[in-house]
């Protein structure tokens, strides 16, 4: 029950912000909005605002949507003319399909943009009021015959970068090693005031995370600790907080895209992919660690949701943006037959991904 409550809170926050991004730009450009829904299925409760929008919460909180006035896909100029016949001239200004291409694109992009802004806000507030860790990563032990030992890493080396990513905190070392997509990673260290680069090939072993979940973890055989056993956490000003927030968001985006690329190359660890069940489990677990850990997770999920929605797959925001790009190049919308073909492909991909991640989730719970 704790997992369920935490999941509902998390998914409600990120979905509401995503849909509000669409809603904000729609209202900005005068598009009528008939429904703002959190969840799908039967409405549990809701209300109508002054502009006629129905704000509602539905039975299944696994998504949401904003429905525009006269909303439907426009496959051809002929179909658009048929739609226009159904409304008077005053209502034409409220139709999404009548807006300039750039406005429609911004309305669609508004959802992912809102997710990125939410993450930036959460990270910035954490960095300003709690602080960001800047503790150097000092190697205190190197296991004999380990990948680190064979590559030449030694005790008292201070790790300054991994695969070109600057290491600004001891907390980043494990993350950078485990998110590396190549078989061998570059580790740059500071030794006797000299910067030295080593190439190390991690080994993958089955381990457990902080919550006791089984994971495949990359290790190189080192132990790290803060110099003088003191952590260096600093509270940042607004400008620096925003800078490091954007940097963290970019790291998540870059890492995700590398993982997606590794899937196509066939060398990705797809057992780590998870769906709603895994998100529910993790959200419940991090909530037990405190509100700070929970909202950090909200930020990471928000970035992931925004990025995934930008993938050029029909039914997602990125799919609509792809269609708008074709419309800009061709000077007209794609034909009905072509768009329907794309939508079938997109539906197949999303359903396949849903089944795959659900299978991973159930296997993680020991049901397979």
Q: Of 209, 208, 303, nearest to 251 (Cα)? A: 303
Measured between alpha carbons, how far is 277 from 273 in angstroms, rounded to an integer?
11
How far is Cα of residue 17 from the mean position of the Cα atoms in its chain? 13
Catalytic residue among 19, 172, 188, 248: 19
Cβ burial, residue 145 (10 Å; 0-12/13-18/19+): exposed
DSSP string for residues in 19-75: HHHHHHHHHHTT--EEEEEEEEEEEEEEEE-TTS-EEEEEEEEEEEEEEETT-----
> What are the pLDDT digits (tens) for 295-305?
999 999 999 99
Look at residue 351 in the predicted model and tell me its pLDDT: 80
CATH of domain 132-234: 2.30.42.10
Q: Domain map of the chain by residue range?
A: 2-129+300-364, 132-234
- pLDDT of amino acid 248: 94
Give, for all 368 residues of the chain, the pLDDT tens digit.
Answer: 667 788 888 889 999 999 999 999 999 999 999 999 998 889 999 999 998 899 999 988 878 899 988 765 554 555 666 667 777 777 778 888 888 999 999 999 999 999 999 999 999 999 999 999 999 999 999 999 999 999 999 999 999 999 989 999 998 898 889 888 778 999 999 999 999 999 999 998 877 666 566 677 888 999 998 887 788 899 999 999 999 999 999 998 988 888 878 777 766 666 666 665 666 666 777 777 788 889 999 999 999 999 999 999 888 899 999 989 988 998 888 877 888 888 888 878 878 777 766 655 555 545 44
* pLDDT confidence of residue 4: 79
Question: Can you tell me the distance from the alpha carbon of 292 to that of 309, in angstroms, rounded to the nearest whole number?
Answer: 26
**Helices 336-364 and 317-330, axial angle in degrees (round to 10):** 160
Measured CA distances, 320 to 112, 242, 278, 339, 356 (Å): 13, 30, 28, 10, 24
Q: Is residue 248 annotated as a catalytic residue, yes or no?
A: no
Structure tokens of 277? 């069940």
Q: What is the pTM of this model?
A: 0.87
């Amino acid at each position: 029950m704790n997992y369920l409550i935490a999941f509902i809170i998390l998914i409600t926050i990120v979905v509401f912000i995503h849909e509000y991004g669409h809603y904000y730009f729609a209202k900005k450009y005068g598009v009528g909005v008939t429904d703002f829904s959190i969840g799908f299925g039967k409405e549990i409760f809701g209300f109508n605002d002054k502009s006629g929008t129905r704000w509602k919460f539905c039975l299944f909180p696994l998504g949401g949507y904003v429905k525009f006035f006269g909303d439907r896909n426009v496959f051809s100029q002929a179909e658009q003319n048929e739609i226009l016949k159904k409304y008077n001239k005053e209502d034409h200004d409220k139709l999404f399909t009548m807006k300039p291409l750039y406005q429609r694109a911004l309305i669609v992009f508004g959802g992912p943009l809102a997710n990125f802004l939410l993450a930036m806000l959460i990270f910035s507030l954490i960095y300003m009021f709690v602080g960001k860790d800047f503790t150097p990563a000092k190697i205190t032990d190197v296991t004999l015959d380990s990948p680190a030992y064979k590559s030449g890493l030694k005790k008292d080396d201070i790790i300054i970068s991994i695969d070109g990513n600057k290491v600004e905190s001891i907390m980043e070392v494990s993350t950078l090693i485990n998110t590396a997509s190549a078989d061998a990673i570059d580790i740059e260290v500071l030794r006797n005031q000299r910067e030295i680069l080593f190439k190390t090939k991690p080994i993958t072993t089955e381990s457990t995370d902080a919550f006791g979940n089984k994971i495949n973890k990359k290790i190189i055989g080192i132990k790290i600790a803060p110099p003088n056993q003191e952590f260096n956490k600093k509270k940042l000003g607004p400008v620096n907080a925003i800078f490091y927030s954007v940097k963290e968001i970019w790291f998540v985006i870059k890492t995700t895209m590398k993982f997606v690329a590794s899937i196509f190359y066939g060398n990705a660890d797809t057992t780590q992919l998870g769906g709603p069940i895994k998100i529910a489990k993790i959200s419940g677990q991090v909530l037990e660690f405190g509100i700070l850990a929970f909202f950090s997770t909200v930020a990471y999920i928000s970035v992931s949701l925004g990025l995934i929605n930008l993938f050029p797959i029909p039914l997602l925001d990125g799919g609509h943006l792809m269609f708008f790009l074709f419309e800009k190049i061709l000077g007209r919308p794609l034909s009905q037959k072509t768009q329907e073909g794309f939508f079938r492909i997109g539906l197949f991909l999303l359903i396949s991904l849903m089944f795959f991640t659900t299978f991973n989730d159930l296997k993680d719970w020991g049901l397979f």
